[in-house]
Amino acid sequence: MIDLEDLRSRPDTYQKAAKDKNLKIDVKKFLKLDAQRKELVGSVEAQRAEKNSVSKKIPTMKGAEKEKALKDMKSLSEKLKKEESQLGEVEEEWKMMQLQMPTIPLDSVPIGKDDTENKEVRKWGDLPKFKFKIKDHVKLGEDLDIIDIPRGVKLAGARSYFLKGDGARLEMAVLQFALDHLRKKGWTQFTPPYMASWECLMGTGFFPGAEEQTYAVGAEEKRGSGVEADDLYLIGTSEVSVASYHKDEVLKEEDLPTRYAGYSPCFRREAGTYGKDTKGLYRIHQFQKIEQVVLCKADQEEALKMFEEIRTNAEEVLQALGLPYRVIDVCTGDMGKGKVFMQDIETWMPSRDSYGETHSCSYLGDFQARRLNIKYEDKDGNKQFVHTLNNTCIASPRILIPLLEIYQKEDGTITIPDVLRPYMGGQEVIVA
């Protein structure tokens, strides 16, 4: 949700932002609706005031005067009821159009239609060179009996999998290493609810727009089971729950910025991705993720410093794991309506002979805070909306793709990175 006063003062800027983000939003249409709503609100409030005033006077009236007043009151009530109904319809459309309005990206954000026009910022690490024919992570996992995709598909359909034995242990090691990395820096760990309400998904900017990607809880009701629907949704990221933690609260300026690390399973339907990245563990329905969530003062300079901090945290994890990566500036057409600035981290995946997205870092200004109604009281006693940021510190099993492939040996074994060995009981190698 955006600042309506700002929208009204520079509508062309918002229309350009919508165009650059590939959003079909008509700002002029919204402003006409906005003016209509304002007029209706004024009319309804005036009629309500008149009705209340006359209602108080009627008991003191007699005869023809009272009869005329009652007649006028009936006419006024009918008119008021009609305009209240009209206002309700206009306000519903007015609110839904607001939820579609984009934030204005920073001037530094590249303008582009989709991910093909994202811009590489820099690279880290040397790409591995192999003197033998490499296996992809699926073949490695099958040969070592640590990944079982066929049985996952048998149980839960396409894009499902099992991690087993050292595969499951390796995933937990990566996740715990990332959590410990953040904890040592003073981040507060969260295990949040894995289900959230529509309000939380709307508040974080996923609804409306991402409904088809989201698993709804309570679908059995539609199948005639008699089970009552819960009106909840499985989260696709702990950002939904953790960013909503302070919903409808007023924080103290001295408590900002927050440094929250949410760990959770994540669930995504991947609707519309039929035939895309179907092999292996790259694009799946269920995964685990550690998400950094920051609430800070309404100060863009401070927010961008936090952006550097959270992206650096993720980079440090990759560097400790010895995984080559690159940082990408995400273009307008690939960043979503709520983002002000966004960077992705892509990690080298030998079997793809390319970098693959593993991390995403976003700054959203006060977009989420306005929707979630999260404010803080500044030193002058004024209440302002916080600014929010989020970043993937690590997500698995996608991160296992470069881990398994880069650390594979000619004999099919996997060398465990040094930093993960303490989390695996000192184990150095994964063998069949």
Could you tell me the CATH number of the domain that includes residue 20?
A: 1.10.287.40
Q: Is 152 left (phi over 0), alpha (psi -120 to 50) or beta?
A: alpha
Q: Which of the listed residues 77, 100, 123 is the one where a domain comes to its end?
A: 100
CATH number of the domain encompassing residue 262: 3.30.930.10
Q: What is the β-pairing status of strands 387-396 and 354-363?
A: antiparallel
* Residue among 241, 244, 351, 360 flagged as catalytic: 360
How many CB atoms within 10 Å of residue 328? Answer: 23
Q: Which of the listed residues 76, 100, 124 is the one where a domain comes to its end?
A: 100
Q: Note whether 306 and 294 are within 8 A (CB).
A: yes
Instruction: Assess whether pLDDT exceeds 80 at residue 416.
Output: yes
String of DSSP letters for 131-170? SS----HHHHHHHTT-EEHHHHHHHH-TT--EE-THHHHH
* Residue among 283, 326, 352, 421 flagged as catalytic: 283
Instruction: Assess whether pLDDT exceeds 60 at residue 122.
Output: yes
Residue 160 located in a structural domain: yes
User: Residue 275: what pLDDT?
Assistant: 67
The pLDDT-based confidence of 344 (bands split at 50, 70, 90) is very high
User: Residue 11: what pLDDT?
Assistant: 97
pLDDT tens figures, 53-72: 888 888 888 888 888 878 88
Instruction: Assess whether pLDDT exceeds 60 at residue 220.
Output: no
Q: Are residues 240 and 345 in the same domain?
A: yes
Q: Are residues 69 and 120 in the same domain?
A: no
259 is catalytic: no
Residue 162 forms beta bridges with which residues?
Answer: 148
Residue 167 located in a structural domain: yes
Of all helices (H) and strands (E), which one includes residue 93? helix 63-100
Residue 110 located in a structural domain: no
370 is catalytic: no
The whole domain housing 23 covers 4-100
Domain count, the chain: 2
Residue 105 located in a structural domain: no
75 is catalytic: no
269 is catalytic: no
Q: Are residues 328 and 293 in the same domain?
A: yes
String of DSSP letters for 100-127? HPPPPPPTTSPP-SSGGG-EEEEEESPP
Average pLDDT in the chain:
94
Distance CA 202, CA 210 (A): 10
User: Residue 227: what pLDDT?
Assistant: 59
pLDDT tens figures, 100-121: 999 999 999 999 999 999 999 9
Supply the DSSP symbol for 422. G
pLDDT tens figures, 305-320: 999 999 999 999 999 9
Residue 394 located in a structural domain: yes
How many CB atoms within 10 Å of residue 196? Answer: 23
Share of the chain above pLDDT 70, in %: 96
User: Residue 187: what pLDDT?
Assistant: 98
Q: Return the higher-pLDDT residue of 269 and 67.
A: 269
Q: Note whether 303 and 251 are within 8 A (CB).
A: no
* Residue among 171, 238, 398, 405 flagged as catalytic: 398
Contacts of 282 (CB under 8 A, 6+ apart): 356, 398, 401
Q: Are residues 94 and 133 in the same domain?
A: no
Q: Which of 61-65, 142-146, 232-236, 381-385 has the lowest mean pLDDT?
A: 61-65
Q: What is the β-pairing status of strands 286-296 and 387-396?
A: antiparallel
* Residue among 159, 268, 370, 371 flagged as catalytic: 268
User: Residue 164: what pLDDT?
Assistant: 98
Residue 107 located in a structural domain: no
Q: Are residues 86 and 120 in the same domain?
A: no
Residue 108 located in a structural domain: no
Q: Are residues 149 and 276 in the same domain?
A: yes
Instruction: Assess whether pLDDT exceeds 80 at residue 225.
Output: no
Q: Which of the listed residues 44, 75, 100 is the one where a domain comes to its end?
A: 100
360 is catalytic: yes
* Residue among 50, 357, 377, 421 flagged as catalytic: 357
Q: Are residues 321 and 401 in the same domain?
A: yes
Q: Are residues 276 and 168 in the same domain?
A: yes
User: Residue 228: what pLDDT?
Assistant: 65
